[in-house]
Amino acid sequence: MKRIEYFITQTATYQFARIIRAQTFDFFETFGRMAIRFIEVLKYILTGQFSYKHIMEQSAHFAIDSLPITLTIVSMTSIILAVQIAPEMVKQGGGNFIGGLLAIVTVREMGTIMTGFAIISMIGSSMASEIATMKVTDQVSAMKVLHVSPIKYLFVPRIIAGALMMPLIATVSSTVGVFCGGFVSSLTSPEVTGLCFINSVKLGLYNRDIGIMLLKASCFGAAIAHISSSCGYDAEGGAKSVGIATTKAVVWSFIAIVIIDYIFALIFYF
């Protein structure tokens, strides 16, 4: 019997099942810890227990440091989109709708999503590695000894900064992206003048779209900050766990913003 059991445990199917089981348990355990910490974060926010100084420091890190790469990614994406659709729209007689189409695509989806990806790659990974390093070097344990809540000190300022700064970054990057797309459209298709493009943007874009973008960006920023902080806080061991926590934060953040974006699409556009 033991011999049969040994051969079964060596099969690829058994090993695959073990991996799936371990990943499933890890998923629900991680999600549960994040939910519990988020409730604690809300308690501190609603009772006003946070430092404005720390929020300003994290806001500067969240917004100013990430702005160049965010503008580059969103602008280049808009330019690529404009290069592909502008000539085709003109051929089909839809040159007057290019601005509206680019504005809708950028404001509703592309600008916010690409901004989220840039923030995750630069700021989210930085947050996770910073807190993970503090955890493995016992700095978090020192906070607890001094009766300082790590959730209040590490999580709350980052989440508030993310929720406040992400809409600002998304607004700036989307605006720059739309104008870059319009400039390239006028170069690739001389029929599309600047005035025609701006009028098309005014007709195609509504205040409702901008409001939804701001709300969605705020949710993205809070989710990225919370997930990155939580994954970093779960790090245990040495330098290897810092890398694992950073990778985990990036993966979870990507999944989270895609799910949040899908929920917003169902609520507001379905």
CA distance 132 to 233: 6
CA distance 74 to 71: 5
Mind spelling out the 3-state secondary structure of 198-213? Answer: HHHHHHHCCHHHHHHH
Q: What are the pLDDT digits (tens) for 89-115?
A: 887 777 788 888 888 888 888 889 999
Average pLDDT rounded to a whole number, residues 107-130: 90
Q: What is the pLDDT of residue 110?
A: 87
Q: What is the pLDDT of residue 138?
A: 84
Q: What are the pLDDT digits (tens) for 9-56?
A: 666 676 667 777 777 787 788 888 888 999 999 999 988 888 888 899
Map out the domains of the chain as residue ranges. Answer: 2-269
Q: What is the pLDDT of residue 29?
A: 82
Contacts of 249 (CB under 8 A, 6+ apart): 124, 125, 127, 128, 227, 228, 230, 231, 232
Q: What are the pLDDT digits (tens) for 60-92?
A: 888 888 888 889 988 898 888 888 888 888 877
CA distance 131 to 233: 6
Assigned token pair, 199: 């009028």
Question: Model pTM?
Answer: 0.87
Percent of the chain having pLDDT more than 90?
Answer: 30
Neighbour count for residue 255 (Cβ, 10 Å) = 11
